[in-house]
Chain A
Amino acid sequence: MNSQQPSLAQGLLAGQRGALARAITWAENADRRFPQLLEDVYAAVGRSHRLGVTGPPGAGKSTLVNQLARHLRELERTVGILAVDPSSPFTGGALLGDRIRMEERTLDPGVFIRSMASRGSRGGLARATVDAFDVMDAFGFDQLIVETVGVGQAEYDVVGAADTVLVVLCPGAGDGVQAMKSGLLEVADVLCINKADLPGADRMVADLEEAVHIRTAGKGLWMPPVVSVSAGTDQGLDGLLEAIQSHRAWLEAEGRLQLSRQEQRLDQVQRVLREGFDHAIWEGRGLEGYARAMIKASRTPHGAAERILEQLKAALPSEWAQVQEETQP
C-alpha cells in the first residue's frame, strides 16, 4: 500500500478534491499513512490565511461563514471551510449539520467544505483541525476558515489554529457581558456583532469598543476592531472583510505572522507529542502493571504518578536542556 501514499499526495497537489477529502479523513482517523502524506505536501503549506470563527451558540456563525465565502468568491479568492460539530461523549456519534447553511456554495469549484466531529476534543476544534488545515493549505486555497463547535463553552483551541480569530456575538442574551467574563474578548482579533438590526446592538458595540480599548490601548497590542453586520441581509460584510484584511496586514507587517505560525507549529508538536506519548507509555510497556503495583504499595494516586514522572524525567536526554538555553534570548 506504500504506493498509495505518493499518489494521494500527488492527487492533492494536482488539485483533486477527492484526494483532499481522503487526506482529511486520514488526518481525522490518525491514520498511520498521514504523517508521510503531510511530509510529502509540506513544502506547499503556508500560503493560506487561516481564519477562526468562534462565538456562542445561535450567534449565526454558519450563516456568517457562508456570506464571507460568498464575498471572497466575488473577489476570486478560493475558500476552504472546516465546520466543527460536537461528538456525543456517550456514543461517539455526531450530527454534522453546519453545511446546511452553506448549501449555495456546494457546487462552487472554488469552495471546499468539510464537516468535522470534535471526537472528544474540548477546546472547540477537532483534534485533526490543524492537520486538515495543513493539507487544505497545500491544496492551495487562498483563505481557510474554521468554524468552532460553538456550544457555549470555552473554545480557545482556535487561537493555536488560526492567524486571525473572529469572535461573533449577537445582541441580547447577555452575550457581551459573557464574552468579557469568559475571555472570548482576549482571543478576538476581530469582534463581530451579528444581527445588528436587533435592539441593543449599538449599546453592545459601544461596550465592546470600550472594553477593547481598556485592554489594549498604549500597550503596542493589536486593537481588535468591532464590526456590526447582519449576515442574514449581507449588510456590513464588506466592512468585516476589511477588518480581517487589516489584521492580516498587521500580522504580516512586522514578521508577526511568522512568529505566530511558529507558535502554532509548537502547539501542534505539543499536541502530537502528548498523544504519541500517552499512547507509547501506556501501550505494551507494562506501565499499567507498574502503576498498579505502586497503588498496592499503598501510595496515593498523586504519589504513584509523581514517582513515575520522576523516573521518566530522569530518562530525558540531557542535551535537550542545552538546546533550550541556546534558544533563550
Chain B
Amino acid sequence: MSTPVASTDRQALWKQEMDKARLRDANFTTISGTPLAPVYGPADGEQDPDENLGLPGQYPYTRGVHPSMYRGRLWTMRQFAGFGAAHETNQRFQFLLKAGQTGLSVAFDFPTLMGYDSDDEISAGEVGQVGVSISSLRDMEALFEGIPMDQVSTSMTINGPAPIMLAFYIACAEKKGIDPKALRGTIQNDILKEYQAQHAWLVPPEPALRMITDVMAYCTEHVPQWNTISISGYHIREAGSTAAQELAFTLANGMEYIRRGVAVGLDVDDFAPRLSFFFDSHLDFFEEIAKFRAARRIWARKMREEFGAKDPRSWMLRFHTQTAGVSLTAQQPENNIVRTAFEALAAVLGGTQSLHTNSMDETLSLPTEKAVKIALRTQQILAEETEVAHVADPLGGSYFVEAQTNRLEAEAEKYFQEIEARGGVVPSIMNGFFQLEIHKSAVKYQRAIEKGEKRVVGVNCYVEDDGGPTIDIHRIRSETEVEAREAMARLRSERDPQAVERELTAIRTACHAGGNLLERFIAAAHAECTLGEIAQVLREEFGQFQEPKIL
C-alpha cells in the first residue's frame, strides 16, 4: 500500500512532470479551435449539480428529456432519403421501412427547395438530383403510395416553400381519408438559418416569418401532433461554424420563433412543445456531447425564465441529429463509415431523439443502396451491440464534459448579447453578421487543415495516391427530368383552370389582407395548383430576398 499524498502535492508533482514531458507535435484544441487542458479535475467540473444538472427528465434537462431515456425507447433511426421522381423515392422508402427504419425523412431536390416546378426552365439539370422532385399534390400522392400516413412519422426537410409542401402533405392525407389530427411528423420550416447558412429561401424574412406563424397557428388547431419547426443548427455547422456558433445561432433562432408566435397572440405553451431542434454531430466527440447538453439547459432556462412557459414540454429541447457531412472525405471513402460511427456515438451519448447517419459515398454522389444500409446498420450496432443505451447521460459528472458544457453555454450567452445589441436576429441577417461569422470560422478551419494543424486522414496525412475512389456511384436516371416535364404537362392539361386561378387569386389577396396562408395553400393543393405557381404569387407579392454582401 502506498502512503496517501495530499492533493496539492499531487498537483505540484503532476505539474512538474508535465513541464518535463515531451509532447507530440499536435494542436491541442477542440475542432472549433478552443484550447484544451491536458487533464480536468474537480475544480473544472460542475460546482452546482443540483441546480445545473438535475436528473434525466428534470429541469433544466441537462441530462436528457426523459427519465428513462433509451431504456424507455431507443432513438428513432431516421435516414434522410430522396432522389429522382416521387415513385423512385417511394421505392427507397419501402426498402428502408423493410430494413427496420422507424421513420421517414424526405430530401427534396433544389428546384423544389427553391419553389420552382420541375418543368421550369431554371430547374434544368437539377430535377431529382439531390432529392425528390415534388411539384404538385399528384407528386406527393406518388411519394406516399402504399405508405400508411397515419402510422409513420414523416420528416420533410424544406424551408422556403415549407408551408406549401406541408399543404400538399395534409391535402394528400385528406384525399386518402386520413384525419390530419392523426398525422405525425416534422417539417423543417426553419427559414432563419436559410438566410444565415443554407440559402434556400423564397421571400424576405418578414413575410417568411408570417407564413411560419400561420403554420404554427393552423397546426395547433388542426394538426396537433405535427412538429411545426425543426430549428436547425446542422446547416449552420456544415457551412463552417464552430460548435459554439451552431449552438448560439440555433437557439437564438428558436427564441425568435417563440417571440414571433407570442407576438401574433399564440400562447407560448400552445405552440412551443411542437418546436424541435436539429443539430450536427461532428468529429470532436466530447465537444459535441457537451453541445447537446448545453443546448437542453439553455433552452429550458430561456423558456421558463424569459418566456414564462409553464408547460414542462415547452422547456424540453428535443432534437434530431445528423452526422457531419463535412467531415466525410472523398479520399479513401470507406473511412467515412468509421467517422460516422464515432459521430453517431456522440449523438447517442448526448441524448438525441432521432438520428441520421451519413453514407460513406456522400462526398461523391447521392448514396447507393449498399452505403445507405451500412449507415443504418451502424446505428443498429450502436443500439443493439455496444450496450451504450442502457444508462442515461453516461458522461454526466465528467470533469471535462461538464467544463465543456459550461464553456459552450457561456459562449452562446455572449452571442445572444451580441445579436441583441445588433437589433435582433433579422437585422443581424440583413447586415450579414451571422454569415460573416460563419465564413470566418470556415476559412480558419480550412487554413488549419492546409497548414496541418488539424489532421484529416487521407487528406493531409496517411495519404494514398490511389488514382481516385473506386466505390460505386449512384447516378440519377437521365430520363427523370423528361418524365417530370411530361407529367407536368399532363397535370396542366387535366386540371380545372378556373379553380387554379381562383385559388391563386385567393392567395394573392391573403398575402396582404391577412388570413391564414397555410389554409389557402391546402385549398390550392386540392385545386392542383403547382408549387411553382403558388411560390410565384408569393415572390410577386412579397418580393425576393437579396443576399447581403459579406465578402
Contact = CB atoms under 8 A, between A and B. Distances in A.
A162 to B, nearest CB: 22
A165 to B, nearest CB: 22
Contacts of B551: 95, 97
A103 B546 CA distance: 9
B549 A98 contact: yes
Interface string A93-104: 001011011010
B431 interface: yes
Contact of B431 (A58, A95, A98, A101): A58
Interface of A: 58, 62-63, 95, 97-98, 100-101, 103
A4 to B, nearest CB: 34
Contact of B546 (A58, A63, A98): A63
Contacts of A62: 549
Interface in B524-551: 546-547, 549-551
Interface in B221-256: none
A95 B551 CA distance: 6
A77 to B, nearest CB: 23
Interface of B: 431, 546-547, 549-551
14 contacts: A58-B431, A62-B549, A63-B546, A95-B551, A97-B549, A97-B550, A97-B551, A98-B549, A100-B546, A100-B547, A100-B549, A101-B546, A101-B549, A103-B546
B384 to A, nearest CB: 51
A97 B547 CA distance: 11
A230 to B, nearest CB: 13
A285 to B, nearest CB: 42
Contacts of B431: 58
A97 B550 CA distance: 8
A170 B547 CA distance: 19
Contacts of B549: 62, 97-98, 100-101
Nearest to A63: B546
B203 to A, nearest CB: 14
Nearest to A99: B549
Closest 8 CB pairs of A and B: A97-B549, A95-B551, A97-B551, A100-B549, A100-B547, A101-B549, A101-B546, A98-B549
Contacts of A95: 551
B49 to A, nearest CB: 45
A101 B547 CA distance: 7
A1 B24 CA distance: 60
Nearest to B549: A97
A98 B550 CA distance: 9
Nearest to B547: A100
Contacts of A58: 431
A62 B431 CA distance: 13
Nearest to A66: B546
A195 B431 CA distance: 13
A18 to B, nearest CB: 26
Contacts of B546: 63, 100-101, 103
Contacts of B550: 97
Nearest to A102: B546
A257 B547 CA distance: 38
A228 B163 CA distance: 36
Nearest to B546: A101
B423 to A, nearest CB: 9
Residue among B431, B546, B547 having the largest count of chain A Cβ atoms under 10 Å: B546
Residue among A95, A98, A100 having the largest count of chain B Cβ atoms under 10 Å: A100
A58 B427 CA distance: 12
A95 B431 CA distance: 17
Contacts of A103: 546
A103 B431 CA distance: 17
Contacts of B547: 100
A183 to B, nearest CB: 26
Contacts of A97: 549-551
A256 B70 CA distance: 82
A173 to B, nearest CB: 11
A185 B162 CA distance: 48
A20 to B, nearest CB: 24
Contacts of A100: 546-547, 549
Contacts of A98: 549
B412 to A, nearest CB: 26
Nearest to B550: A97
Nearest to B427: A198
Contacts of A63: 546
Given A97-B551, A98-B549, 12 more contacts: A58-B431, A62-B549, A63-B546, A95-B551, A97-B549, A97-B550, A100-B546, A100-B547, A100-B549, A101-B546, A101-B549, A103-B546
Contacts of A101: 546, 549
A54 B550 CA distance: 19
A97 B549 CA distance: 6
Nearest to A172: B423
A63 B431 CA distance: 12
A59 B238 CA distance: 31
B226 to A, nearest CB: 34
Nearest to A57: B431
Nearest to B204: A232
A62 B549 CA distance: 9
Nearest to A234: B543
A95 B436 CA distance: 14
Nearest to B431: A58
A299 B400 CA distance: 65
B487 to A, nearest CB: 31
B472 to A, nearest CB: 39
A100 B551 CA distance: 10
Residue among B547, B549, B550, B551 having the largest count of chain A Cβ atoms under 10 Å: B549
A97 B546 CA distance: 13
A281 B551 CA distance: 39
A62 B546 CA distance: 12
A180 to B, nearest CB: 24
A217 to B, nearest CB: 37
A8 B40 CA distance: 70
A199 B221 CA distance: 38
B409 to A, nearest CB: 31
A230 B546 CA distance: 15
A63 B549 CA distance: 10
B207 to A, nearest CB: 13
Nearest to A62: B549
Residue among B431, B550, B551 having the largest count of chain A Cβ atoms under 10 Å: B551
B71 to A, nearest CB: 52
Nearest to B430: A232
Nearest to B543: A233
A58 to B, nearest CB: 6
